Amino acid sequence: MISVPDLHRRLTALNCRTVAIQAPEGLKRFLPRLADELYHLGYDVIISGDPCYGACDLDLDARDQADILVHIGHTPVDGTERVIYEIWPVDGDLSVINEVIPRLTGKEAGLVTTVQHIHLLSQAASLLLGEGIKPIIAGPSPRTPCRGQVLGCSFEAARRTGAQEIIFLGTGLFHPIGIKLATGARVFACDPVTGNIEEPDSDRLLRVRFGLIQKAKGADSYGIIVSSKTGQCRSQLADRLCSLSDKAYRVVLGEVTPDQLLNLGFPCYVNTACPRLAYDDQVRFPAPVLTPGEFEILCGVRDFDHYEVDEII
Ligand code: SF4
């Protein structure tokens, strides 16, 4: 939960009276209560109801009807103005760090996490130090402003540890697989909520992606998806990809949904929007959706041996 008194102080300092509030899908249900609390502090409140998946996905229409947009649950990925960010911390049990220590083979380990567990990182580092393991935590980068922070589209904080073994503190296997592909390190996915520890297997993902590239080779045209969202628009990359094939056309989309891809009817798409779309949502899509690097492989300008996980740098 965010601190409403702290938010009130920030809004007062910025002289805001009308406030738009936005949160990702899992936190949206808290918005009516937040709106109520802000209303009783004297604000006019607008709730953003559109889907939101990250700080790349700011509701600028809602912001423009207000003095400011309060974006909850993420840190900034760009310098969009009149937006303030409120992290939503999620606590967890750090005994998972104690449990992973015997599985480490070296005397140092990279340590990364997602923004909701950022506040646990120092304590996790202390636990490692206490057992003689040197924790390596990379500093901030433009897209990940917290130390040790990774995103589904940026594993820079893992790469910059330079470590052979990396501990990911967080839920799910998408980030750990991305870290493994981005670094080549041995990765331990330590979930502070369930207590599970897994070593992700990236080979299965690579086999699936290789099959998609093969399938896409027969396509007679390619839709190069360009996002209209604030922090996902990679138009220069889309231009470069279009230059690789005379059968490639740019398609501008806000939401990338199976229905839209079905209606557009391309036999293959290349995704320059959120990298997770191609990896996470392929099963829902009616045609192969390649990453930019996979399209380069298809066009013969990159080897599969030099496969790179898609990131927005
Ligand atoms: Fe998250 Fe995708 Fe946005 Fe990156 S581009 S911040 S992975 S939603």
CATH number of the domain bearing residue 65: 3.40.50.11840
Residue 1, pLDDT score: 80
The answer to whether position 60 is within a domain reads: yes
CATH number at residue 223: 3.40.50.11860
In this prediction, residue 67 has a pLDDT band, given cuts at 50, 70 and 90, of very high
- Does one domain contain both 253 and 164? no
Residue 293, pLDDT score: 98
* Other C-beta atoms lying within 10 Å of the C-beta of residue 150: 29
CATH number at residue 106: 3.40.50.11850
Domain count, the chain: 3
In this prediction, residue 273 has a pLDDT band, given cuts at 50, 70 and 90, of very high
DSSP 256: -
pTM of the predicted protein model: 0.94
What's the average model confidence in pLDDT over 130-138? 98
How far, in Å, CA of 260 to CA of 256, rounded? 7
Pocket test for ligand 1, best of 25, 27, 77, 149 (most atoms within 8 A of CB): 77
- Does one domain contain both 192 and 146? yes
Residue 203, pLDDT score: 95
The answer to whether position 44 is within a domain reads: yes
Task: Decide: 90 and 39 in contact? Cβ < 8 Å.
Answer: no
Retrieve residue 56's tokens.
């790349």
pLDDT at 179 over 90: yes
Q: What's the gap between Cα 306 and its chain centre? A: 23
Cβ neighbors of 313 (< 8 A, separation 6 or more) are 143, 154, 156
- Does one domain contain both 125 and 100? yes
pLDDT at 286 over 90: yes
In this prediction, residue 313 has a pLDDT band, given cuts at 50, 70 and 90, of confident
Q: How far is the CA of 229 from the centre of ligand 1 (A)?
A: 10
pLDDT at 230 over 90: no
Pocket test for ligand 1, best of 232, 272, 289 (most atoms within 8 A of CB): 232
The answer to whether position 313 is within a domain reads: no
What's the average model confidence in pLDDT over 131-136? 98
Residue 169, pLDDT score: 98
Cβ neighbors of 166 (< 8 A, separation 6 or more) are 109, 110, 111, 112, 158, 179, 183, 185, 186, 187, 188
* Residues β-bridged to residue 307: none
Residue 231, pLDDT score: 93
Give CA angle at 189 (187, 193), nearest 5°.
Answer: 165
In this prediction, residue 101 has a pLDDT band, given cuts at 50, 70 and 90, of very high
Q: How far is the CA of 101 from the centre of ligand 1 (A)?
A: 30
Residue whose CA is closest, atom 5 of ligand 1? 274
- Does one domain contain both 22 and 44? yes
Give the residue from 86, 120, 151 where a domain finishes. 86
Ligand 1 contacts CB of residue 76 (under 6 A): no
The minimum-distance atom of ligand 1 relative to the CA of 56 is: 3
- Does one domain contain both 193 and 140? yes
Cβ neighbors of 306 (< 8 A, separation 6 or more) are none
Ligand 1 contacts CB of residue 77 (under 6 A): yes
Give the residue from 140, 166, 198 where a domain finishes. 198
Give the residue from 198, 232, 263 where a domain finishes. 198
Q: How far is the CA of 77 from the centre of ligand 1 (A)?
A: 9
DSSP three-state, residue 90? coil
What's the average model confidence in pLDDT over 55-82? 96
At 38, give phi and psi (nearest 5°).
-70, -40
Give the range of the structural domain holding residue 192, as residue numbers without chain letter.
95-198
What's the average model confidence in pLDDT over 269-276? 98
